Amino acid sequence: MRAVRPLLFALLPLFASCAMFDQQDETPVSPGNRMQGELSVSNGKLLLRPCQEQRRFVISDSGNTGLLQESASLLDSRDATLFADVSGNLGASPVAGTDGQLNLTRLYRVQREGHGCDDPNFKRQMLRASGHEPDWSVSVNAKGMVLERPNQEPLALPYLEEQLPNGRFNLTSEANGLRIELWVAPQRCVDSATGAVQFLSAELRSNGKVERGCAYFGGSRTQ
């Protein structure tokens, strides 16, 4: 488990809180506001500093999203930071020196590498999916989708979306004799190259060839 043991011990009280929450009756939870920012650990508490802000919020995983466990597996030390994309409801914090408490309702992704707060395309994107061996990526917005592969020109395509049961959906496009299908499902997925954890799995089908990867919703889409 590398150097994550100090962090795991620091977050043990938070895991205990999650266990207590599991024993309570489930009640409907508002999806709240979507936020992106940097995660860090201070005095055994997981904190989120939203992008381009100085405020810090104590994380409470009231929605059992798994962020605490995912962060413990990704952080190498207490001084490290991660990028997280979450939804939650803000409230008062019992911890001095913080600006409130973020009660999580949903985890979209958490990562150690990548653009994070500096991603210029995030707000315009509806979905981004990618995979490796071989590398591929698909970016989707309201105007179309763009398929990118190494040593090839980006391919811009129109698409049709079909909603499927259990939160799944697929995007399809046909152009220039090429049929592209992107199948997406709500499922924990770990990027094999970066270790980033995303909560959508993706499968790219191109003229019968199947390539698997992970995906996340962009800033213009939440579900």
Give me the average pLDDT of each 10-residue run along the chain (223 residues).
40 41 40 88 90 94 91 70 93 89 95 85 94 95 94 93 96 88 97 92 93 94 84
Tokens 């962090």 sit at which residue?
7
Model pLDDT, residue 76: 64
Going through 43-176 in order, the beta strands assigned E by DSSP cover 45-50, 57-60, 82-91, 101-111, 127-131, 136-141, 144-148, 155-157, 160-163, 169-175
* Structural domains in the chain plus CATH codes: 5-112 (2.40.50), 122-217 (2.40.128)
The pLDDT value recorded for residue 9 is 38
Per-residue CA distances from 1 to 7, 113, 167 (Å): 11, 19, 33
pTM for the full model? 0.81
Query: Whole-angstrom Cα distance, residue 101 to residue 85?
Result: 16
Which residues, at least 6 apart from 7, have a Cβ–Cβ distance to it below 8 Å? Answer: 41, 71, 72, 75, 77, 78
* pLDDT at res. 13: 44
* AA identity, residue 219: G
